[in-house]
Structure 1
């Protein structure tokens, strides 16, 4: 068997290897396109592919594991090996990656005293159980077992979170306990303070650095750190950031291709590189993460990242400039692309059905009663929406009404009439007047959306990571009690009953049907809709929001069926169109 060594440089057996890697997340690309994206990586001149493994994707409920379909990283890894590519795996419990909760599973938050990324027994015990399952899949993939996996990561940018060396050692030891046989590394920002905090100097774990600019300076800081700590090993930028992610309401971020290529050249003269991202892909479902800027700042469904391949796999100017640079360091192979991918404009399709959420609520979720409002995690819900319902009594005008401990986005309805939408600085935690118009039995509904959990920094520990209404609903100076909770993870949109009633300006489901003779990639235009998510044949394409910068959802061809297809859109603002458009190009904010 081959063996991968870290000495003064990287070696396979006794032969030096220069690692030129590209980041490609299997979970952000439909499996039918893995071959295409890997072939284009090889054609770039790369010899390695890198991917994270997100814990929350593979253990969505505690003790329930899933490694099938789009989650089958074993198949992805073997496809890479079949093409002659090596693999860097990053199975650390925390990944960041602009992914929901940085890859940590939401169910951890049902434990009141859990402290993630620490020696908290609840957390480490959960990691141990997860690794026990995960490494059954990883072990045969290592180069020591005839697989393509060269090395694995212990923790990700831990120096930007804590300096708890005992925790790092515990994660390392758990990986070894469960079968890790290849060298280990950490990755942190390219400056002294975070390198000192996030590395394991005396544990034989290689430190690497993450950065996107000033390459000579930042790889130099890594070199200085290694010399000061008598660490012998090659210099590697584990995440060479060539673009950036996007937040709702911001501009679509772009980086000059020539500038990025020049930085790559500087890096390759000095050491080894993993291009982040070679191809970004899509945050399907509810897995987009959240930044924190004076409150939560959710990230977009697209994870285009201004990468070498765009969100839907097309070559960019940056790809060709990077290929030119890489050709100075290795021979570029001839690669035949074997996946036939076309983009199709299917035109317009008319609305076939619509129904208010309130009408079909009981077909989607059974109410859970509690005197107090419970957060999502307390009722074993991780993602999507939660609706709180209460009878708030007789006709009355309240001068003071507010939500306590709600950090996301809430829509308030009284007798199914919209009262207000609370988000960020817009009145969360502040008093508002509210009128109860019916003589008796006024019903209040509060629909709260989990916009995404924070995925970076100290805010990982924020109380805002628990979703829903954590404190309560206050009328005047007292908390109202007696609430039904409807868990709406929307993994059952086939249960929507379109025979019910529709009411304007309420959250609702909209159904569109269309026939397909030939399958191709297409783009659902969301112009004219407000906020929500969309499903194609039951598959959650992700969120949309009229704030932009994108007004589309990408539909890869494999999600379509020859014959009848169905799109269901859940929209929360009461904005919709009688027709939808499936175009052959994406739509951005004008």
Structure 2
């Protein structure tokens, strides 16, 4: 029996919650148990996870709870290891995840008011919760499971102050069978606690990365009754973005001192204990001074590395935690084996433009459509348009999100990204007929801040000389059907292309693919979208978990948008950076 009074109690005895974040959706299922064992071996008694709505309902009314989506199995493994579980189940999670976990199909409603009591939004939440909580409710401690708390929304105080919305979300949770204690989590700065909490219905917790006494004092003064003091997100690392000079790393020695203070005063959830990987196109983005999409790695400088290795930070934290738990800590599980598979040579190569009809069903309309209009979530979209005959032209993109590469008669003309979008492009049309192709990449919808509602991807329109253009053909390219690429078709230099390699392995082990020398794109392993690479760094190697490989021949496909291809790729046992 779990209770919240002035402290946390289990079966009438006060307990110290020492929790760590592991996101099942960023770890291949075959490694869930390994990561959870390592969490327990650091001294944690609880695991916390978000639940991204868009991961489980990528198309409205189509739900996925199998394979990597099987949150029930993840929680059952935690239960078998005698771990408590804290679940943070949407509608919004932030988490540096695509659109903060919100499904992009919400944006088909041009009047949509996200994260508010706007009835059409709440209707979608209701439909999702009715399905989601069928997975979670039987796993609550009230029914013999390990879930002891569930969070309402996420850091809502940094976004809005709609108390009716927060109350409606809680009502929906209760209506769908949630009967464990509810919590909120917010920063303690400015109006965040005032905006984000509903103190008579949910326990308020705080998020911070340093100065625990200061933040806990703010929380104590905010609530007019004794409560357990908990940091729901103790930021012991940070995320890295494309274009950063280096991976973000933090000082574990000072964090260990703060951790001791936190555990002396209250309770902790490490964000993150193990970050994992932004597989596919699931990374989010931020926008402060400029658009800033996150890299494929979500290592987060966490105690357990992206590839599952124990780090010095892990050892330092384990030493502190050992002073707050009874008895010896579990032995560390064996490290996951890594392999250096060496270099392989390209087998086939073909142009994207010669494979459009293989990969997409064209849609023609008088005006450009966005990804959301076309029921597309992530990936790329190619716009095709006839610019007419010979003449000088000035092209101007209108609201191109996020990165557009323009080609005329298959020759590259321009690339525009972020603040460059909308700058006039002056060029000369040299042929009697001139075909324009615009390849637009969704680089990750923004996951935090005031720009969240404005995340439609694609172009709004194109202005040419004196007016907007009509008659557009669209090719949606989520690249979820990479097996349809026809490598017998032509390859042309300087065009977006697919390169095929074969990796023959006797034994499947973890490895890293080195993308140094390539431009920008994505890597597919046996049809699985491993994630993005980009020459701007700081990430040049992508992590390949062993379960994605098979004994024998493995099919490797690289989609490259910048025309920078190599004849060889290397698989190494050396991680992207030293942990």
- Please state how far the C-alpha of 1:459 moved relative to its aligned partner: 1.4
> How far, CA to CA, are the matches of 2:462 and 2:189 in structure 1?
46
- Residue 297 of structure 1 and its aligned partner are, at CA, apart by 1.1
Matched, 1:566 2:555: yes
How many Å separate the matches in 2 of 1:587 and 1:77? 30
What residue in structure 1 maps to residue 219 of structure 2?
A: 222
Query: Which whole-Å CA distance do the structure 1 matches of 2:445 and 2:317 have between them?
Result: 34
Q: Is the 8 A contact 2:220 2:226 kept in 1?
A: no
Q: Distance in 1 between matches of 2:221 and 2:190?
A: 9
User: How far 1:432 sits from its partner (Å)?
Assistant: 1.3
Are the equivalent residues in 1 in contact too, given 2:133–2:177 (CA < 8 A)?
yes
Residue 100 of structure 1 aligns with which residue? 98
Is 2:433 the counterpart of 1:433? no
Conserved? CA contact 2:308–2:336, under 8 Å:
no
Asked if structure 2 preserves the Cα contact closer than 8 Å seen for 1:36 and 1:337, the reply is no
> What is the CA–CA distance in structure 1 between the aligned matches of 2:269 and 2:576, rounded to whole Å?
30
Alignment of 1:64-463 (within 5 A): 64-191=62-189, 193-203=191-201, 205-226=202-223, 230-250=224-244, 251-331=246-326, 333-335=328-330, 341-398=336-393, 400-426=394-420, 428-439=421-432, 441-462=433-454
Contact 1:522 / 1:584 at 8 angstroms: preserved in 2? Answer: yes
Distance in 2 separating the partners of 1:487 and 1:161: 32
CA contact (8 A) 1:192 1:225 kept: no
Extract unaligned runs of 5+ from structure 1.
none
Query: Which residue of structure 2 lines up, in the alignment, with residue 523 of structure 1?
Result: 512
How far the C-alpha of 1:334 sits from its partner, in A, is 4.7
Aligned mates of 1:120, 1:6 — CA distance in 2: 32
Q: CA deviation at 1:218?
A: 1.0
Identify if the C-alpha distance between structure 1 residues 332 and 369 changes in structure 2 by more than 3 Å, giving closer, same or farther: farther
Give the whole-Å Cα distance in 1 for the aligned partners of 2:380 and 2:326: 51
Tell me the distance in 2 between the aligned counterparts of 1:548 and 1:502: 27
Cα distance in 2, alignment partners of residues 547 and 340 from structure 1: 31
Q: Distance in 2 between matches of 1:363 and 1:231?
A: 63
CA contact (8 A) 2:38 2:333 kept: no
Quote how far apart the aligned CAs of 1:12 are: 1.6
Measure the CA separation in 1 of the matches of 2:336 and 2:211.
37
Q: Give the superposition deviation at 1:74.
A: 0.5
Inter-CA distance 61–339: structure 2 relative to 1 (3 Å threshold) = farther
Deviation at 1:437, TM superposition (A): 1.6
Could you report, residue by residue, the CA deviation over 1:372-423 in whole angstroms, capped at 9, with x for unpaired residues? 011110010010000000111112221x211011131000000110001001
* Alignment partner, residue 489 of structure 1: 478
| 1:384–1:450 CA contact under 8 A, matched in 2 | yes
Give the Å deviation of 1:17. Answer: 1.2
Distance, in Å, in 2 between the alignment partners of 1:475 and 1:430 is 12
Structure 1 CA distance, aligned partners of 2:119 and 2:18? 38
2:493 aligned partner = 504
Match of 1:40 among 38, 41, 44: 38
Alignment match, 2:457: 467
Tell me how far 1:588 sits from its aligned partner.
Answer: 5.5
Q: Distance in 1 between matches of 2:222 and 2:533?
A: 44
Q: Deviations over 1:300-338 (max 9, x none)?
A: 110000000111010111000000100110036453566
Tell me if structure 2 keeps the 8 A contact 1:44–1:332.
no
Where does residue 529 of structure 2 map in the other structure? 540
Q: Is the 8 A contact 1:213 1:263 kept in 2?
A: yes
Count of paired positions: 577
- In 2: Cα distance, 1:290 partner to 1:210 partner: 20
Q: Is contact 1:534-1:570 (8 Å) kept?
A: yes
Return the offset for 1:232: 3.3
Cross-structure match for 1:10: 8
Displacement of 1:190 in angstroms is 2.1
Q: Deviations over 1:85-113 (max 9, x none)?
A: 00000002100000010000011011111
1:48-63 matched pairs, under 5 angstroms: 48-63=46-61
Structure 2 contact 90–101 (Cα < 8 Å) conserved: no
CA deviation map 1:512-571 (0-9, x unaligned): 002110111000001010000000000000101111011011100000010110110000
Deviations 1:197-243 (A, max 9, x none): 1100222x1000000011111111111111xxx23320100000001
